[in-house]
Structure 1
Amino acid sequence: MKISGKTALITGGASGLGEATVRHFHQLGARVAIFDLNADRGQQIVSELGDDRAAFYAVDITSGPAVEAAVAKVIERFGSLHICCNYAGIAPVVKTIGRDGPGDLELFSKVIQVNLIGSFNVARTAAFAMAKNETLTEDGERGVIIHTASVAAYEGQIGQAAYSASKGGIVSLTLTMARDLARNGIRVNAIAPGLIHTPMFDAFPQEVYDSLAKQPLFPVRLGQPAEVAHLAQHLVENTYMNGECVRMDAGIRMQAR
Protein backbone atom coordinates (compact mmCIF):
# COMPACT_ATOMS: atom_id res chain seq x y z
CA MET A 1 0.00 0.00 0.00
CA LYS A 2 1.29 3.44 -0.87
CA ILE A 3 1.39 5.83 2.08
CA SER A 4 0.80 9.02 0.14
CA GLY A 5 -2.83 10.08 0.28
CA LYS A 6 -3.71 7.59 3.03
CA THR A 7 -4.85 8.25 6.59
CA ALA A 8 -2.69 6.93 9.43
CA LEU A 9 -3.76 6.72 13.08
CA ILE A 10 -0.70 6.69 15.37
CA THR A 11 -1.02 6.13 19.11
CA GLY A 12 1.69 7.56 21.32
CA GLY A 13 2.25 9.97 18.44
CA ALA A 14 3.30 12.91 20.62
CA SER A 15 6.72 11.49 21.51
CA GLY A 16 9.41 8.92 20.75
CA LEU A 17 8.73 6.26 18.14
CA GLY A 18 5.20 7.51 17.56
CA GLU A 19 6.28 11.08 16.88
CA ALA A 20 9.00 9.91 14.50
CA THR A 21 6.43 7.88 12.56
CA VAL A 22 3.96 10.77 12.52
CA ARG A 23 6.58 13.05 10.98
CA HIS A 24 7.84 10.42 8.54
CA PHE A 25 4.41 9.40 7.26
CA HIS A 26 3.34 13.03 6.98
CA GLN A 27 6.46 13.75 4.92
CA LEU A 28 5.51 10.85 2.66
CA GLY A 29 2.13 12.48 1.99
CA ALA A 30 -0.15 10.81 4.53
CA ARG A 31 -2.85 12.36 6.66
CA VAL A 32 -1.88 11.69 10.28
CA ALA A 33 -4.10 11.41 13.35
CA ILE A 34 -2.17 11.55 16.65
CA PHE A 35 -3.72 9.72 19.61
CA ASP A 36 -1.99 10.67 22.87
CA LEU A 37 -2.69 12.06 26.34
CA ASN A 38 -0.07 14.81 26.07
CA ALA A 39 -2.26 17.50 24.52
CA ASP A 40 0.32 20.28 24.63
CA ARG A 41 2.95 18.28 22.78
CA GLY A 42 0.44 16.78 20.38
CA GLN A 43 -0.92 20.17 19.39
CA GLN A 44 2.62 21.50 19.03
CA ILE A 45 3.50 18.76 16.55
CA VAL A 46 0.36 19.47 14.54
CA SER A 47 1.30 23.16 14.44
CA GLU A 48 4.84 22.33 13.34
CA LEU A 49 3.60 20.13 10.50
CA GLY A 50 1.74 23.20 9.35
CA ASP A 51 -1.08 21.98 7.14
CA ASP A 52 -4.50 20.35 7.25
CA ARG A 53 -3.13 16.81 6.98
CA ALA A 54 -2.49 16.46 10.71
CA ALA A 55 -4.80 16.34 13.72
CA PHE A 56 -4.46 15.59 17.43
CA TYR A 57 -6.93 13.72 19.62
CA ALA A 58 -6.56 13.34 23.40
CA VAL A 59 -7.46 9.67 23.83
CA ASP A 60 -7.25 7.14 26.63
CA ILE A 61 -6.52 4.01 24.57
CA THR A 62 -7.81 1.73 27.35
CA SER A 63 -11.34 3.14 27.01
CA GLY A 64 -13.55 1.51 24.40
CA PRO A 65 -15.99 4.44 24.09
CA ALA A 66 -13.14 7.00 23.96
CA VAL A 67 -11.33 5.19 21.16
CA GLU A 68 -14.52 4.57 19.19
CA ALA A 69 -15.46 8.25 19.46
CA ALA A 70 -11.99 9.38 18.41
CA VAL A 71 -11.84 7.05 15.40
CA ALA A 72 -15.25 8.37 14.33
CA LYS A 73 -13.80 11.89 14.46
CA VAL A 74 -10.85 10.81 12.32
CA ILE A 75 -13.22 9.38 9.72
CA GLU A 76 -15.30 12.57 9.83
CA ARG A 77 -12.17 14.72 9.43
CA PHE A 78 -10.24 12.73 6.82
CA GLY A 79 -12.91 10.56 5.20
CA SER A 80 -11.33 7.13 5.81
CA LEU A 81 -8.69 5.22 7.76
CA HIS A 82 -6.04 3.01 6.19
CA ILE A 83 -3.13 2.61 8.63
CA CYS A 84 -3.00 2.08 12.39
CA CYS A 85 0.30 2.17 14.29
CA ASN A 86 0.15 1.24 17.99
CA TYR A 87 3.12 2.81 19.81
CA ALA A 88 1.51 3.97 23.06
CA GLY A 89 2.82 2.12 26.08
CA ILE A 90 4.32 2.28 29.55
CA ALA A 91 7.25 0.44 31.14
CA PRO A 92 7.36 0.74 34.95
CA VAL A 93 9.47 -1.69 36.97
CA VAL A 94 7.44 -4.61 38.33
CA LYS A 95 9.15 -7.52 40.10
CA THR A 96 7.49 -10.76 41.14
CA ILE A 97 8.33 -10.03 44.76
CA GLY A 98 9.67 -6.88 46.38
CA ARG A 99 11.45 -6.16 49.62
CA ASP A 100 8.19 -5.74 51.50
CA GLY A 101 5.98 -8.37 49.88
CA PRO A 102 4.51 -9.68 46.64
CA GLY A 103 4.88 -7.65 43.47
CA ASP A 104 2.52 -4.75 42.77
CA LEU A 105 -0.55 -6.40 41.23
CA GLU A 106 -2.27 -3.10 40.49
CA LEU A 107 0.74 -1.81 38.56
CA PHE A 108 1.12 -5.13 36.71
CA SER A 109 -2.53 -4.92 35.67
CA LYS A 110 -2.12 -1.32 34.51
CA VAL A 111 0.78 -2.24 32.22
CA ILE A 112 -1.22 -5.06 30.65
CA GLN A 113 -4.21 -2.75 30.32
CA VAL A 114 -2.28 -0.04 28.48
CA ASN A 115 0.21 -2.02 26.42
CA LEU A 116 -1.81 -5.07 25.43
CA ILE A 117 -5.49 -4.33 25.91
CA GLY A 118 -5.05 -0.75 24.73
CA SER A 119 -3.40 -1.96 21.54
CA PHE A 120 -6.20 -4.44 20.91
CA ASN A 121 -8.81 -1.79 21.65
CA VAL A 122 -7.40 0.64 19.07
CA ALA A 123 -6.76 -2.11 16.52
CA ARG A 124 -10.26 -3.58 16.74
CA THR A 125 -11.85 -0.17 16.27
CA ALA A 126 -9.51 0.82 13.45
CA ALA A 127 -10.01 -2.53 11.71
CA PHE A 128 -13.77 -2.13 11.77
CA ALA A 129 -13.37 1.21 9.97
CA MET A 130 -10.79 -0.19 7.52
CA ALA A 131 -13.05 -3.09 6.58
CA LYS A 132 -15.45 -0.56 5.04
CA ASN A 133 -12.80 0.79 2.64
CA GLU A 134 -12.82 0.06 -1.05
CA THR A 135 -9.94 -2.23 -2.01
CA LEU A 136 -6.72 -0.31 -2.57
CA THR A 137 -4.49 -2.80 -4.39
CA GLU A 138 -4.79 -5.67 -6.84
CA ASP A 139 -4.54 -8.03 -3.86
CA GLY A 140 -7.66 -6.53 -2.31
CA GLU A 141 -5.90 -4.68 0.50
CA ARG A 142 -7.97 -2.37 2.68
CA GLY A 143 -5.71 -1.54 5.61
CA VAL A 144 -2.56 -2.17 7.65
CA ILE A 145 -2.10 -2.47 11.41
CA ILE A 146 1.33 -2.29 13.06
CA HIS A 147 1.77 -3.16 16.73
CA THR A 148 4.82 -2.42 18.87
CA ALA A 149 6.31 -5.36 20.75
CA SER A 150 9.83 -5.36 22.22
CA VAL A 151 12.89 -7.58 22.54
CA ALA A 152 11.70 -7.83 26.16
CA ALA A 153 9.00 -10.17 24.85
CA TYR A 154 11.78 -12.70 24.25
CA GLU A 155 14.48 -11.71 26.77
CA GLY A 156 12.78 -9.85 29.58
CA GLN A 157 15.16 -8.50 32.18
CA ILE A 158 14.84 -8.39 35.95
CA GLY A 159 12.06 -5.96 36.84
CA GLN A 160 10.27 -6.34 33.49
CA ALA A 161 7.66 -8.90 34.53
CA ALA A 162 4.73 -6.72 33.51
CA TYR A 163 6.34 -5.13 30.45
CA SER A 164 7.62 -8.43 29.08
CA ALA A 165 4.25 -10.10 29.62
CA SER A 166 2.46 -7.27 27.82
CA LYS A 167 4.84 -7.35 24.87
CA GLY A 168 4.77 -11.14 24.71
CA GLY A 169 1.03 -10.76 24.40
CA ILE A 170 1.54 -8.43 21.44
CA VAL A 171 3.76 -11.00 19.74
CA SER A 172 1.11 -13.70 20.21
CA LEU A 173 -1.70 -11.37 19.17
CA THR A 174 -0.13 -10.37 15.86
CA LEU A 175 -0.50 -13.57 13.84
CA THR A 176 -3.91 -14.33 15.33
CA MET A 177 -5.19 -10.87 14.44
CA ALA A 178 -3.72 -11.20 10.93
CA ARG A 179 -5.67 -14.42 10.51
CA ASP A 180 -8.85 -12.81 11.84
CA LEU A 181 -8.59 -9.90 9.40
CA ALA A 182 -7.32 -11.67 6.28
CA ARG A 183 -10.85 -11.97 4.90
CA ASN A 184 -11.16 -8.18 5.24
CA GLY A 185 -7.94 -7.42 3.35
CA ILE A 186 -6.21 -6.03 6.43
CA ARG A 187 -2.61 -6.98 7.20
CA VAL A 188 -1.19 -7.06 10.73
CA ASN A 189 2.49 -6.96 11.70
CA ALA A 190 4.54 -5.94 14.73
CA ILE A 191 7.90 -4.30 15.33
CA ALA A 192 10.02 -5.50 18.28
CA PRO A 193 12.54 -2.70 18.91
CA GLY A 194 15.71 -3.10 20.92
CA LEU A 195 17.46 -0.14 22.54
CA ILE A 196 16.12 2.93 20.73
CA HIS A 197 17.20 6.45 21.71
CA THR A 198 13.91 7.92 22.86
CA PRO A 199 13.77 10.93 25.25
CA MET A 200 13.82 8.53 28.20
CA PHE A 201 17.53 7.89 27.56
CA ASP A 202 18.40 11.59 27.88
CA ALA A 203 17.72 11.40 31.61
CA PHE A 204 20.28 8.64 32.18
CA PRO A 205 23.74 9.39 33.59
CA GLN A 206 26.37 9.38 30.85
CA GLU A 207 28.00 6.18 32.14
CA VAL A 208 24.65 4.35 32.01
CA TYR A 209 23.96 5.65 28.52
CA ASP A 210 27.43 4.60 27.32
CA SER A 211 27.01 1.13 28.80
CA LEU A 212 23.69 0.61 27.04
CA ALA A 213 25.04 1.93 23.76
CA LYS A 214 27.77 -0.73 23.76
CA GLN A 215 25.35 -3.66 23.98
CA PRO A 216 24.07 -3.99 20.37
CA LEU A 217 26.02 -6.38 18.15
CA PHE A 218 26.38 -4.06 15.13
CA PRO A 219 26.12 -1.18 14.69
CA VAL A 220 27.31 -0.53 18.23
CA ARG A 221 24.96 2.31 19.17
CA LEU A 222 21.39 2.96 20.17
CA GLY A 223 18.82 2.86 17.41
CA GLN A 224 17.06 6.01 16.27
CA PRO A 225 13.28 6.52 16.25
CA ALA A 226 13.53 7.47 12.56
CA GLU A 227 14.87 3.97 11.84
CA VAL A 228 11.79 2.43 13.45
CA ALA A 229 9.59 4.79 11.41
CA HIS A 230 11.36 3.62 8.25
CA LEU A 231 10.61 -0.01 9.12
CA ALA A 232 6.97 0.93 9.68
CA GLN A 233 6.99 2.44 6.19
CA HIS A 234 8.26 -0.85 4.77
CA LEU A 235 5.59 -2.84 6.60
CA VAL A 236 2.92 -0.61 5.11
CA GLU A 237 4.31 -0.65 1.59
CA ASN A 238 5.28 -4.33 1.28
CA THR A 239 1.99 -6.14 0.77
CA TYR A 240 3.52 -9.57 1.28
CA MET A 241 4.50 -8.79 4.89
CA ASN A 242 1.75 -10.18 7.09
CA GLY A 243 1.50 -11.85 10.47
CA GLU A 244 5.14 -11.09 11.32
CA CYS A 245 6.91 -9.69 14.37
CA VAL A 246 10.16 -8.12 13.17
CA ARG A 247 13.01 -7.57 15.62
CA MET A 248 14.84 -4.29 15.08
CA ASP A 249 17.68 -4.46 17.55
CA ALA A 250 21.09 -4.55 15.80
CA GLY A 251 21.46 -8.17 16.89
CA ILE A 252 21.21 -7.53 20.61
CA ARG A 253 20.25 -10.33 23.00
CA MET A 254 19.37 -8.89 26.39
CA GLN A 255 21.00 -10.27 29.53
CA ALA A 256 19.20 -10.81 32.82
CA ARG A 257 20.10 -7.32 34.07
Structure 2
Amino acid sequence: MKIDSSVAAVVTGGASGLGRATAAALRDLGARVALFDKNKELGEQTAAELGALFCEVDVMDEASVDAGFAKARAAHGQERVLVNCAGGGRGGKTIARDKQTGEIVPYKTDDFQWVLGLNTVGTFRCTVKSAAGMAALEPTPEGERGAIVNTGSVAAEEGQIGQVAYAAAKAAIKGMTIVLARDLSSEGIRVNTILPGIMDTPLLGGLKTRAPQVYEGLARSVPFPRRLGTAEEYADLALTMIRNGYLNGETVRLDGAIRMAPR
Protein backbone atom coordinates (compact mmCIF):
# COMPACT_ATOMS: atom_id res chain seq x y z
CA MET A 1 0.00 0.00 0.00
CA LYS A 2 1.30 3.40 -0.92
CA ILE A 3 1.20 5.85 1.98
CA ASP A 4 0.45 9.42 0.92
CA SER A 5 -2.09 12.20 1.43
CA SER A 6 -4.87 9.99 0.06
CA VAL A 7 -4.54 7.64 3.05
CA ALA A 8 -6.21 8.15 6.42
CA ALA A 9 -4.73 6.38 9.44
CA VAL A 10 -5.61 5.80 13.09
CA VAL A 11 -2.95 5.13 15.73
CA THR A 12 -4.06 4.03 19.19
CA GLY A 13 -1.83 4.99 22.08
CA GLY A 14 -0.68 7.72 19.72
CA ALA A 15 0.19 10.43 22.24
CA SER A 16 3.61 9.03 23.17
CA GLY A 17 6.14 6.26 22.72
CA LEU A 18 5.67 3.75 19.91
CA GLY A 19 2.37 5.29 18.86
CA ARG A 20 3.72 8.82 18.58
CA ALA A 21 6.72 7.69 16.52
CA THR A 22 4.43 5.76 14.17
CA ALA A 23 2.06 8.68 13.81
CA ALA A 24 5.01 10.96 13.03
CA ALA A 25 6.32 8.55 10.38
CA LEU A 26 2.89 8.35 8.75
CA ARG A 27 2.55 12.13 8.79
CA ASP A 28 6.00 12.49 7.19
CA LEU A 29 4.63 10.53 4.24
CA GLY A 30 1.57 12.77 4.02
CA ALA A 31 -1.05 10.51 5.62
CA ARG A 32 -3.98 12.06 7.49
CA VAL A 33 -3.51 10.73 11.02
CA ALA A 34 -5.83 10.53 14.02
CA LEU A 35 -4.38 9.80 17.45
CA PHE A 36 -6.45 7.77 19.92
CA ASP A 37 -5.31 8.23 23.52
CA LYS A 38 -6.71 8.65 27.04
CA ASN A 39 -4.26 11.42 27.92
CA LYS A 40 -6.06 14.51 26.66
CA GLU A 41 -3.37 17.07 27.51
CA LEU A 42 -0.50 15.10 26.00
CA GLY A 43 -2.64 13.93 23.09
CA GLU A 44 -3.61 17.45 22.08
CA GLN A 45 -0.01 18.60 22.40
CA THR A 46 1.28 15.71 20.27
CA ALA A 47 -1.42 16.23 17.65
CA ALA A 48 -0.55 19.92 17.38
CA GLU A 49 3.15 19.12 16.99
CA LEU A 50 2.55 16.47 14.32
CA GLY A 51 -0.29 18.10 12.45
CA ALA A 52 -2.59 15.24 13.43
CA LEU A 53 -6.09 14.97 14.90
CA PHE A 54 -6.51 14.03 18.55
CA CYS A 55 -9.42 11.85 19.67
CA GLU A 56 -9.78 11.23 23.38
CA VAL A 57 -10.37 7.47 23.46
CA ASP A 58 -10.31 4.73 26.06
CA VAL A 59 -9.87 1.49 24.10
CA MET A 60 -11.52 -0.40 26.96
CA ASP A 61 -14.77 1.50 26.46
CA GLU A 62 -17.01 0.62 23.50
CA ALA A 63 -18.75 3.99 23.28
CA SER A 64 -15.46 5.86 23.54
CA VAL A 65 -13.96 3.86 20.66
CA ASP A 66 -17.07 4.39 18.54
CA ALA A 67 -16.92 8.14 19.17
CA GLY A 68 -13.22 8.21 18.31
CA PHE A 69 -13.70 6.51 14.96
CA ALA A 70 -16.69 8.77 14.18
CA LYS A 71 -14.61 11.89 14.88
CA ALA A 72 -11.61 10.64 12.90
CA ARG A 73 -13.71 9.63 9.89
CA ALA A 74 -15.65 12.90 9.91
CA ALA A 75 -12.36 14.79 9.65
CA HIS A 76 -10.26 12.48 7.46
CA GLY A 77 -12.57 9.96 5.83
CA GLN A 78 -12.48 6.20 6.34
CA GLU A 79 -9.05 5.01 7.47
CA ARG A 80 -7.10 2.47 5.42
CA VAL A 81 -4.48 2.07 8.14
CA LEU A 82 -4.83 1.12 11.80
CA VAL A 83 -1.87 0.75 14.15
CA ASN A 84 -2.73 -0.50 17.64
CA CYS A 85 -0.16 0.67 20.20
CA ALA A 86 -2.38 1.20 23.25
CA GLY A 87 -1.47 -1.17 26.06
CA GLY A 88 0.04 -1.61 29.50
CA GLY A 89 0.36 -3.97 32.41
CA ARG A 90 -0.02 -4.66 36.10
CA GLY A 91 2.81 -6.81 37.36
CA GLY A 92 2.65 -9.58 39.91
CA LYS A 93 3.42 -13.27 40.40
CA THR A 94 0.69 -15.88 40.16
CA ILE A 95 1.11 -16.23 43.91
CA ALA A 96 3.60 -14.34 46.04
CA ARG A 97 4.55 -14.30 49.70
CA ASP A 98 4.44 -11.26 51.93
CA LYS A 99 8.06 -10.51 52.83
CA GLN A 100 7.19 -9.70 56.43
CA THR A 101 4.58 -12.30 57.31
CA GLY A 102 5.11 -15.03 54.72
CA GLU A 103 1.40 -14.89 53.91
CA ILE A 104 0.47 -16.15 50.44
CA VAL A 105 -0.83 -13.35 48.21
CA PRO A 106 -2.62 -14.49 45.02
CA TYR A 107 -2.56 -12.34 41.90
CA LYS A 108 -5.91 -10.59 41.66
CA THR A 109 -8.24 -11.89 38.98
CA ASP A 110 -9.54 -8.36 38.52
CA ASP A 111 -6.03 -7.22 37.62
CA PHE A 112 -5.65 -10.14 35.19
CA GLN A 113 -8.92 -9.20 33.50
CA TRP A 114 -7.91 -5.52 33.36
CA VAL A 115 -4.62 -6.30 31.59
CA LEU A 116 -6.36 -8.55 29.05
CA GLY A 117 -9.10 -5.95 28.64
CA LEU A 118 -6.63 -3.19 27.84
CA ASN A 119 -4.25 -5.13 25.62
CA THR A 120 -6.14 -8.00 23.99
CA VAL A 121 -9.75 -6.87 24.03
CA GLY A 122 -8.79 -3.24 23.34
CA THR A 123 -6.75 -4.30 20.33
CA PHE A 124 -9.51 -6.60 19.08
CA ARG A 125 -12.20 -3.95 19.60
CA CYS A 126 -10.36 -1.37 17.51
CA THR A 127 -9.42 -3.95 14.88
CA VAL A 128 -13.01 -5.10 14.39
CA LYS A 129 -14.42 -1.58 14.14
CA SER A 130 -11.69 -0.41 11.78
CA ALA A 131 -11.96 -3.50 9.56
CA ALA A 132 -15.73 -3.05 9.30
CA GLY A 133 -15.14 0.45 7.98
CA MET A 134 -12.32 -0.59 5.65
CA ALA A 135 -14.52 -3.26 4.10
CA ALA A 136 -16.77 -0.52 2.67
CA LEU A 137 -13.88 1.10 0.79
CA GLU A 138 -13.13 0.61 -2.86
CA PRO A 139 -10.05 -1.59 -3.17
CA THR A 140 -6.78 -0.23 -4.52
CA PRO A 141 -5.58 -1.45 -7.94
CA GLU A 142 -3.75 -4.20 -6.01
CA GLY A 143 -7.00 -5.28 -4.35
CA GLU A 144 -6.23 -3.84 -0.91
CA ARG A 145 -8.75 -2.14 1.32
CA GLY A 146 -6.62 -1.74 4.41
CA ALA A 147 -3.69 -2.74 6.60
CA ILE A 148 -3.66 -3.27 10.36
CA VAL A 149 -0.60 -3.50 12.61
CA ASN A 150 -0.99 -4.76 16.17
CA THR A 151 1.51 -4.61 19.01
CA GLY A 152 2.44 -7.66 21.04
CA SER A 153 5.66 -8.13 23.01
CA VAL A 154 8.48 -10.63 23.32
CA ALA A 155 6.71 -11.44 26.61
CA ALA A 156 4.25 -13.33 24.40
CA GLU A 157 7.00 -15.91 23.93
CA GLU A 158 9.23 -15.46 27.01
CA GLY A 159 7.18 -13.90 29.75
CA GLN A 160 9.24 -13.18 32.84
CA ILE A 161 8.45 -13.80 36.49
CA GLY A 162 5.71 -11.40 37.53
CA GLN A 163 4.37 -10.96 33.99
CA VAL A 164 1.64 -13.60 33.98
CA ALA A 165 -1.17 -11.24 32.91
CA TYR A 166 0.91 -9.20 30.47
CA ALA A 167 2.40 -12.31 28.85
CA ALA A 168 -1.04 -13.86 28.47
CA ALA A 169 -2.45 -10.68 26.93
CA LYS A 170 0.37 -10.31 24.43
CA ALA A 171 0.38 -14.02 23.58
CA ALA A 172 -3.31 -13.68 22.72
CA ILE A 173 -2.54 -10.81 20.35
CA LYS A 174 0.11 -12.94 18.69
CA GLY A 175 -2.26 -15.91 18.52
CA MET A 176 -5.09 -14.06 16.85
CA THR A 177 -2.87 -12.51 14.15
CA ILE A 178 -3.09 -15.32 11.61
CA VAL A 179 -6.81 -15.80 12.29
CA LEU A 180 -7.54 -12.09 11.79
CA ALA A 181 -5.51 -12.15 8.57
CA ARG A 182 -7.45 -15.18 7.31
CA ASP A 183 -10.82 -13.79 8.41
CA LEU A 184 -10.17 -10.50 6.63
CA SER A 185 -8.45 -11.86 3.54
CA SER A 186 -11.64 -11.92 1.49
CA GLU A 187 -12.02 -8.19 2.17
CA GLY A 188 -8.48 -7.30 1.09
CA ILE A 189 -7.37 -6.32 4.60
CA ARG A 190 -3.97 -7.42 5.89
CA VAL A 191 -3.04 -7.91 9.57
CA ASN A 192 0.45 -8.21 11.07
CA THR A 193 1.87 -7.95 14.58
CA ILE A 194 5.12 -6.56 15.97
CA LEU A 195 6.66 -8.13 19.08
CA PRO A 196 8.91 -5.42 20.53
CA GLY A 197 11.71 -6.25 22.92
CA ILE A 198 13.13 -3.75 25.40
CA MET A 199 12.23 -0.38 23.92
CA ASP A 200 13.37 3.08 24.98
CA THR A 201 9.89 4.49 25.51
CA PRO A 202 8.79 6.92 28.25
CA LEU A 203 7.97 3.89 30.43
CA LEU A 204 11.63 2.83 30.55
CA GLY A 205 13.32 6.08 29.59
CA GLY A 206 12.96 7.43 33.11
CA LEU A 207 15.36 4.74 34.30
CA LYS A 208 18.19 6.69 32.69
CA THR A 209 18.00 9.21 35.51
CA ARG A 210 16.26 7.25 38.30
CA ALA A 211 18.30 4.05 38.06
CA PRO A 212 21.02 4.35 35.43
CA GLN A 213 22.61 1.05 36.47
CA VAL A 214 19.34 -0.77 35.77
CA TYR A 215 18.98 0.98 32.41
CA GLU A 216 22.55 0.09 31.44
CA GLY A 217 21.99 -3.50 32.54
CA LEU A 218 18.97 -3.77 30.27
CA ALA A 219 21.00 -2.42 27.36
CA ARG A 220 23.81 -4.92 27.99
CA SER A 221 21.30 -7.79 27.97
CA VAL A 222 20.59 -7.24 24.27
CA PRO A 223 22.97 -9.31 22.08
CA PHE A 224 23.27 -6.72 19.30
CA PRO A 225 23.04 -3.83 19.16
CA ARG A 226 23.69 -3.50 22.89
CA ARG A 227 21.07 -0.87 23.56
CA LEU A 228 17.35 -0.47 23.92
CA GLY A 229 15.27 -0.30 20.74
CA THR A 230 13.91 3.04 19.63
CA ALA A 231 10.33 4.03 18.92
CA GLU A 232 11.48 5.11 15.46
CA GLU A 233 12.67 1.56 14.74
CA TYR A 234 9.23 0.28 15.68
CA ALA A 235 7.64 2.87 13.40
CA ASP A 236 9.91 1.85 10.53
CA LEU A 237 8.80 -1.78 10.83
CA ALA A 238 5.15 -0.72 11.08
CA LEU A 239 5.51 1.24 7.83
CA THR A 240 7.07 -1.80 6.14
CA MET A 241 4.12 -3.94 7.24
CA ILE A 242 1.71 -1.37 5.83
CA ARG A 243 3.53 -0.86 2.53
CA ASN A 244 4.55 -4.43 1.69
CA GLY A 245 1.44 -5.97 0.15
CA TYR A 246 2.68 -9.56 0.50
CA LEU A 247 3.36 -9.30 4.23
CA ASN A 248 0.29 -10.73 5.94
CA GLY A 249 -0.54 -12.81 9.01
CA GLU A 250 2.98 -12.44 10.45
CA THR A 251 4.32 -11.75 13.93
CA VAL A 252 7.80 -10.21 13.78
CA ARG A 253 10.15 -9.80 16.72
CA LEU A 254 11.94 -6.46 17.01
CA ASP A 255 14.36 -7.17 19.82
CA GLY A 256 18.07 -7.18 18.91
CA ALA A 257 18.07 -11.02 19.17
CA ILE A 258 17.27 -10.98 22.90
CA ARG A 259 15.64 -13.99 24.53
CA MET A 260 14.27 -13.00 27.90
CA ALA A 261 15.55 -14.75 31.02
CA PRO A 262 13.08 -15.81 33.75
CA ARG A 263 13.74 -12.53 35.61
> What is the TM-score when the length of structure 1 is the normalising length?
0.96
Alignment-derived partner of residue 30 in structure 2: 29
Counterpart of 1:129 (choices 133, 137, 145) is: 133
Q: Which residue of 2 aligns with 1:109?
A: 113
Is contact 1:94–1:107 with CA below 8 Å preserved after alignment? no
For 2:151 and 2:251, the matched residues in 1 are separated by: 9
Is 1:234 matched with 2:240? yes
Letter of the structure 1 residue corresponding to residue 247 of structure 2: M
What aligned pairs does 1:84-99 form with structure 2 within 5 A after superposition? 84-99=82-97
Deviation at 1:206, TM superposition (A): 0.4
Displacement of 1:49 in angstroms is 2.2
CA shift for structure 1 position 220: 1.1
Q: 2:144 aligns with which of 133, 141, 149?
A: 141
Match of residue 43 from structure 2: 42
Query: What does residue range 46-195 of structure 1 map to in structure 2 within 5 Å?
Result: 46-50=47-51, 54-99=52-97, 100-138=104-142, 140-195=143-198
Instruction: State the alpha-carbon separation in 2 of the partners of residues 17 and 49 from structure 1.
Output: 14
After alignment, is 115-124 or 91-100 more displaced?
91-100
- Stretches of 4+ aligned residues off by more than 4 angstroms: none
Asked if the contact 1:94–1:108 (Cα under 8 Å) also holds between the matched residues in 2, the reply is no
Structure 2 equivalent of residue 2 of structure 1:
2
- C-alpha deviations, 1:87-140, integer Å up to 9, x for none? 0001221210122421121111100000000000000000001001111132x1
Letter in 1 for 2:216: D
Normalised to the residue count of structure 2, the TM-score between the two structures is 0.94
Rounded Cα–Cα distance in structure 2 between residues aligned with 1:34 and 1:137: 28
Instruction: State percent identity of aligned pairs.
Output: 46
The one-letter code sitting in structure 2 at the alignment partner of 1:248 is L
Distance 2:72 2:205 in 1: 33
Q: Which residue is 2:229 aligned to?
A: 223
Task: Give the whole-Å Cα distance in 2 for the aligned partners of 1:118 and 1:43.
Answer: 21
1:255 to 245, 258, 261: 261
Q: Is the 8 A contact 2:15 2:47 kept in 1?
A: no
How far apart are the structure 1 equivalents of 2:150 and 2:205? 25
| Structure 2, gaps ≥5 residues long | 98-103
For 1:16 and 1:158, how far apart are their aligned partners in 2? 24
